[in-house]
Amino acid sequence: NTPAEQRAETEKKVDKIEDKMADSRMADTHVEWEKERADILADLRDLRDNIGSQLSKVNVDLADKKLKPSVRKDKEAMKAELEREKTNVEGLVAKAENATDATWSSTKADLDKASNDVKGWWARFKENIDKKTDADNDKDGH
């Protein structure tokens, strides 16, 4: 082997090593974003299920024919609010499910903001129920 051939051979080996390192970094990044996305999706689905559960309870209450008109009005407003937020969360779930690793950083930022907004609404919603019923249904001490 001449020095030029050795250099060329060494460069090929270095290129292969660099390619493997890049593939490894991409794989790590892909695994990381998939895990992040899975965690966010789990949170969003849990929130959607909690809202759906509360919506079911409100629908049961509204089915009562003996419900006072003032209480019915409150329950209908609550139902509309729950349906709106459930739709919002379902949109966030779809957005997370359709995200790709190329769009993940911008999608994640949008999801974080919207998710925090919905989680804040959910916390306030549960507190309002506690206040109206003088009960600590969410078991948070207030």
Mean pLDDT, the chain, rounded, equals: 81
- Residues 100-128 pLDDT 10s: 878 888 888 888 888 888 888 888 888 88
Helices (H), 2-142: 3-63, 69-97, 104-133
Question: Is the pTM higher than 0.85?
Answer: no
Q: If you write DSSP's letter for every residue of 97-121 in order, what string do you get?
A: HT--TTTHHHHHHHHHHHHHHHHHH
The better pLDDT of the pair 11, 77 is held by: 77
pLDDT at position 76 is 93
User: What is the mean predicted confidence (pLDDT) over 75-79?
Assistant: 91
